[in-house]
């Protein structure tokens, strides 16, 4: 029995919470591992932050400044995604579900809500004070969790303390960046490069920390957690499209373009959900743990593109009421670009952990090419026709992928038939 299998330290599930559980690595192959109620509550706090970021991007697109709003959106979304991802992988290794663990997780939730409150100021005025403070609260909670793991889990001590040191050093860097920006010592044109530099260092902390000893994250648990967050972001896209419907109805009556865009947008989101869950990632992560960084980090683009797609669909629906100042071409590209990014990255992250990708790369590349070319027809055929065509492409790709997978399964492959 390895050091990860300490049954006496296992968290209590269903039998009442234990006051204190010695923190040690949970088994990699723990059976029936699933997201806990605390993790689900943690995810829900991110709904507010994602909604604020999506609404801000939609406002910029509608005003005809989508390109200007894209960089602030990506920066803010990085902070949201990185905070979620750090907790998720920690919890997969060290979830004790005792009182201290729950309280420190709730501290991180409070930080998420503070960050969410600061999203509008960050997007509209490049004011990152509230976002940085909320991020600080989250990092204090997570850093304390890693320190506790370092103290109580002798086998993983070096790795845990490396994580704690990396988190502390980088948080000092974020605070220094904010201080320099507030005092004018950091020029405005250096704010984005400084953010990117710190973000790159953040991404480097896990590979550096785990060089000492890899953590015991559970592949099926991680796959489930990422799937749940994908559903949350898809839900935010549905919410964004609903805001567009409400705005359009306030300015005009129901029209044919309105119905076409509303239905087509929903079809697009359904198809993207279907594509994501065609091949559960748990087995692939279990077989290719060394590919976890490419898979996990690649989801930043998947999540951000889904959120941006929601903003684009919101504006597309709203423009039927003659509200936005953006051109038809800009509105269609606000949908097509994030859609193409999603399709490309979904294929890439999936291909990184399986022996045979679900879809042929030529088919995916062809779909992406068509998706990016369709908006050029918007000035001639209208936004509704382009959005409907994009929905058709998504449905076609989904149907072909299902048929291809079923054909391989019927030919004696190991994969289960897709529904």
Mean pLDDT of the chain: 89
Nearest to 261, CA basis, from 338, 340, 331? 331
Residue 416 has pLDDT above 70, yes or no: no
Identify the weakest region by mean pLDDT among 111-125, 167-181, 385-399, 401-415: 401-415
Query: Quick one: which H or E segment has residue 107?
Result: helix 99-125
pLDDT tens-digit map of 371-385: 999 999 999 999 999
DSSP single-letter state for residue 377: G
How much is the pLDDT for 252?
Answer: 66
| CB-count burial class (<10 Å; 0-12, 13-18, 19+) for 15 | exposed
The larger pLDDT score, comparing residue 175 to residue 15, is at: 175
SS3 (DSSP) at 325: coil
Residue 412 has pLDDT above 70, yes or no: no
SS3 (DSSP) at 370: helix
Percentage of the residues of the chain whose pLDDT score is greater than 90? 68
> Which residues are CB-contacts of 289 (< 8 A; sequence separation ≥ 6)?
214, 219
CA 54 distance to own-chain centroid: 13
Give the confidence band of 395 by pLDDT, cuts at 50, 70, 90: very high
Give the confidence band of 410 by pLDDT, cuts at 50, 70, 90: low
Stated pTM of the model: 0.90
Residue 2 has pLDDT above 70, yes or no: no
Give the confidence band of 5 by pLDDT, cuts at 50, 70, 90: very low
Nearest to 216, CA basis, from 20, 29, 353? 29
Let me know: does 164 contact 143? Beta carbons within 8 Å. Answer: yes
The token pair that represents 344 in the structure block: 């490309």
Residues 178/181/187/188 CA torsion (nearest 10 deg) = 80
Distance CA 186, CA 189 (A): 8
> Which residues are CB-contacts of 330 (< 8 A; sequence separation ≥ 6)?
61, 64, 66
pLDDT tens-digit map of 353-375: 987 777 888 989 999 999 999 99
How much is the pLDDT for 321?
Answer: 66
How much is the pLDDT for 407?
Answer: 76
How much is the pLDDT for 20?
Answer: 84
Residue 249 has pLDDT above 50, yes or no: yes
Distance CA 105, CA 35 (A): 14
Nearest to 315, CA basis, from 53, 60, 120? 60
How far does the chain reach from its first CA to its final CA, in angstroms? 39
Let me know: does 45 contact 106? Beta carbons within 8 Å. Answer: no
Let me know: does 202 contact 170? Beta carbons within 8 Å. Answer: yes
Q: Once rounded to an integer, what is the mean pLDDT over residues 317-339?
A: 85
Let me know: does 398 contact 366? Beta carbons within 8 Å. Answer: no
How much is the pLDDT for 324?
Answer: 62
The token pair that represents 236 in the structure block: 């935010």
Give the confidence band of 7 by pLDDT, cuts at 50, 70, 90: very low
What DSSP assignment string belongs to 30-88? -TT----HHHHHHHHHHHHHHHHHHHHHHHHHHTT-HHHHHHHHHHHHHHHHHHHHHHH
Nearest to 283, CA basis, from 122, 408, 415, 189? 415
Percentage of the residues of the chain whose pLDDT score is greater than 70? 92
Let me know: does 170 contact 198? Beta carbons within 8 Å. Answer: yes
Distances (CA, A) of 246 to 92, 111, 232, 240: 40, 31, 21, 10
CA geometry: angle 178, 179, 183, nearest 5 deg: 115
Identify the weakest region by mean pLDDT among 114-118, 393-397, 406-410: 406-410
Residue 413 has pLDDT above 70, yes or no: no
How much is the pLDDT for 415?
Answer: 46
The token pair that represents 292 in the structure block: 């976890």
Q: Once rounded to an integer, what is the mean pLDDT over residues 16-20?
A: 75
Residue 226 has pLDDT above 70, yes or no: yes
How much is the pLDDT for 29?
Answer: 87
Q: Once rounded to an integer, what is the mean pLDDT over residues 287-295?
A: 92
pLDDT tens-digit map of 253-267: 677 888 899 899 999
How much is the pLDDT for 419?
Answer: 40
Distance CA 91, CA 221 (A): 10
Identify the weakest region by mean pLDDT among 116-125, 190-199, 201-210: 116-125
The token pair that represents 273 in the structure block: 């959900």
Residue 6 has pLDDT above 50, yes or no: no
pLDDT tens-digit map of 70-119: 999 999 999 999 999 999 999 999 999 999 999 999 999 999 999 999 99
CA 379 distance to own-chain centroid: 33
Per-residue three-class SS string for 401-413: HHHHHHHHHHCCC
Distances (CA, A) of 402 to 83, 291, 416: 34, 25, 11
Residue 243 has pLDDT above 90, yes or no: no
Half-sphere exposure of 78 (CA within 13 A, CB side): 18
pLDDT tens-digit map of 25-52: 899 988 888 899 999 999 999 999 999 9
């Amino acid at each position: 029995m390895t050091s990860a299998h300490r049954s006496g330290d296992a968290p209590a599930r269903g039998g009442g919470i234990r006051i204190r559980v010695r923190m040690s690595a949970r088994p990699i192959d723990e059976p029936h591992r699933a997201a806990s109620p605390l993790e689900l509550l943690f995810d829900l706090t991110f709904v507010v932050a994602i909604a604020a970021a999506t609404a801000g991007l939609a406002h910029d697109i509608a005003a005809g400044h989508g390109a200007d709003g894209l960089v602030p959106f990506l920066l803010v979304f990085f902070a949201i995604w990185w905070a979620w991802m750090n907790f998720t992988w920690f919890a997969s290794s060290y979830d004790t579900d005792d009182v201290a663990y729950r309280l420190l997780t709730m501290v991180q939730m409070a930080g998420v809500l503070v960050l969410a409150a600061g999203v509008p100021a960050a997007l509209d005025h490049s004011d990152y004070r509230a976002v940085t403070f909320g991020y600080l609260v989250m990092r204090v909670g997570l850093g304390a969790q890693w320190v506790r793991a370092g103290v109580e889990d002798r086998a993983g001590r070096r790795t845990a303390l490396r994580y704690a040191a990396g988190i502390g050093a980088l948080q000092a860097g974020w605070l220094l960046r904010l201080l320099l920006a507030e005092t004018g010592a950091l020029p405005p044109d250096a704010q984005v490069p400084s953010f990117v530099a710190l973000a790159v260092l953040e991404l480097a902390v896990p590979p550096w920390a785990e060089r000492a000893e890899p953590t015991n994250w559970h592949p099926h648990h991680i796959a489930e957690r990422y799937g749940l967050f994908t559903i949350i972001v898809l839900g935010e896209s549905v919410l964004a499209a609903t805001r567009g419907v409400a705005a359009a109805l306030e300015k005009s009556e129901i029209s044919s373009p309105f119905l076409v865009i509303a239905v087509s947008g929903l079809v697009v989101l359904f198809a993207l959900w279907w594509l994501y869950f065609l091949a559960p990632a748990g087995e692939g992560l279990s077989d290719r743990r060394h590919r976890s960084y490419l898979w996990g980090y690649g989801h930043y683009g998947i999540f951000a593109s889904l959120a941006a797609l929601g903003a684009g669909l919101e504006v597309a629906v709203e423009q039927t009421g003659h509200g936005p100042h953006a051109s038809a071409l800009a509105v269609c590209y606000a949908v097509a670009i994030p859609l193409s990014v999603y399709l490309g990255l979904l294929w890439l992250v999936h291909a990184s952990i399986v022996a045979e990708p679900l879809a042929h790369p030529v088919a995916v590349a062809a779909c992406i090419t068509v998706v990016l070319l369709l908006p050029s027809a918007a000035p001639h055929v209208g936004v509704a026709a382009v959005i409907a065509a994009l929905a058709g492409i998504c449905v076609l790709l989904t149907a072909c992928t299902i048929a291809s997978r079923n054909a391989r399964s019927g030919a004696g492959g190991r994969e289960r038939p897709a529904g």
